[in-house]
Amino acid sequence: MKFNQYWLIPLAIALAVGVYYLPPVHSRLAWRVNDLRTSIIYYFNPPSEAVFQPSGETALTIETAILTARAELMQTLTPLVTSTPTPGPTPSPTITTTPLPASVILPGVIYVDQHERWNYCGPANLTMALNFWGWAGNRDDVARAVKPGNGNPRESFIQQSESDKNVMPYELVDFANEETEYRALLRNGGDLSLVKRMLAAGFPILIEKGYYKEVKTNADWLGHYLFTTGYDDARGGFIVQDAYLRDENLKPIGKDMLVNYADYQTGWREFNYLFVVVYPADRQNDVFNLLGAWADEKWASQHALDLAEKDIQTLTGNDLFFAWYNKGSSHVALQQYVDAALAYDQAFSTYETWNLQKGDRPYRILWYQTGPYFAYYYSARYADVISLANTTLNDTIAKPTLEESLLWRGRAYYMSGNTQAAVDDYRAALKVHINWVPAVQALQDLGLQP
């Protein structure tokens, strides 16, 4: 009788799966497996071909008018997903006239990379910002609060947090303000001279920017945080700590990088010149005085709108998309939702004309900047909210794991009379980000438990 070895095959498979899910092995291999899976899905369903076409239609029935008024009431009761608390009173801003040095390199920067974890750009960068001032925590301490994942007790924390693709700037700010003894604030509409002024006074700056990663012959657009810790006019750029970049041997190479001023500004423009300042609580007056007019959050949003208007008049091609998008985002920050919706309409019509052969469409933009949901929802354009969320969740990502898109689609479903679909989306959002307050509150508003 011959020895039958075929029974070893399922045993070997089971053993391989078991080893793969051991935390030390999983943390090193899972991203490769996920990249392979995503590449296969994207090959058959290219996300760059996904185009959102807003209808521009608003519900005009009496019933919808009542529901719209109800939505406005909900806005006063429900914290906005991108709301940012302003820490403390705003002192009267002063203008700094002291000439800036030609070079500043802040000492004491501790470099932190984002690797061997999932989507850790935000936690890694905030950790660098907090460590600079003496905080003793690490990137996992940040991530456990801002991207806690699905809460499955059978998985390690690293496995649980895989599904959360992005940490919003307001989440980083909230962590610093609520979970540490330090403070943070967020503003739009920054400029290079402001960054230099803050650095010269000893305050590093965290910005969010667009980033193109070369993939074969195409460029793949991503959102990216960048911790800025110095500048050098002689070399023409800022000194940054890039948590993502690695060499061919997978060794991090982002410490003390020089990014020239033009490239820095171009990438920053793609996120409405958004910046975050982290600082000790007792230095708040110093920070606000250095910010000058930017100390006023409303002024900063209006300034960002003015910058977008100028960019619309001067930029062409793909850059024009971001200019229109920034206009929409600035209107959202000012709670001017109808104007915002019209600006986003223009942005998406511009997006549709991009050359697909270059593969550089920023199809992930709703992963990072959710302003269109606010604009269309509060303009009673619920069908556009649902359509935009469907495009984002079904066509731009391998798995529909974007809690913000799920939340806003759920809200739009509810306002359109489909309560069960709304509940399903709220619960799906909580499977991405356990105990996420907006989704929990949305269920509670319906008398349901999370």
What residue ranges do the domains of the chain occupy? 44-81+303-445, 103-295
Q: How many CB atoms lie within 10 A of CB 91?
A: 14
Interval 25-56: pLDDT, tens: 555 555 455 555 455 545 456 666 666 788 87
Q: Is the pLDDT confidence value at 6 over 60?
A: no
Closest-CA residue to 168 (of 271, 92, 73): 271
Q: Is the pLDDT confidence value at 89 over 50?
A: no
CATH number of the 103-295 domain: 3.90.70.10
Q: Is the pLDDT confidence value at 288 over 90?
A: yes
Q: Is the pLDDT confidence value at 88 over 50?
A: no
pLDDT band at 212 (very low <50, low <70, confident <90, very high): confident
Return the pLDDT at 159. 81
pLDDT band at 168 (very low <50, low <70, confident <90, very high): very high
Q: Is the pLDDT confidence value at 213 over 70?
A: yes
Looking at the chain, the whole-number percentage of residues with pLDDT higher than 90 is: 66
How big is the chain, counted in residues? Answer: 450
In this structure, are residues 366 and 409 in contact, taking their beta carbons and an 8 Å threshold?
no
Place of tokens 């657009």: 221
Question: Lowest-confidence range among 21-30, 94-103, 256-265, 432-441?
Answer: 21-30
In this structure, are residues 219 and 212 in contact, taking their beta carbons and an 8 Å threshold?
yes
* 134 conformational bin, left if phi > 0, alpha if psi -120 to 50, beta if neither: left
7/142 Cα distance (integer angstroms): 46
pTM of the model: 0.85
44-81+303-445 topology per CATH: 1.25.40
Q: Fold identical between 44-81+303-445 and 103-295?
A: no
Return the pLDDT at 94. 47
Interval 380-410: pLDDT, tens: 999 999 999 999 999 999 889 999 999 999 9
H helices present in 334-436, as ranges: 337-351, 365-368, 371-377, 382-395, 403-415, 419-432
Return the pLDDT at 84. 41
428/402 Cα distance (integer angstroms): 9
Q: Is the pLDDT confidence value at 83 over 90?
A: no
pLDDT band at 292 (very low <50, low <70, confident <90, very high): very high
In eight-state DSSP terms, residue 230 is E
Average pLDDT value over all residues in the chain: 86
Q: Is the pLDDT confidence value at 427 over 80?
A: yes
Place of tokens 């719209």: 68
Closest-CA residue to 403 (of 378, 371, 372, 425): 425
Return the pLDDT at 151. 86
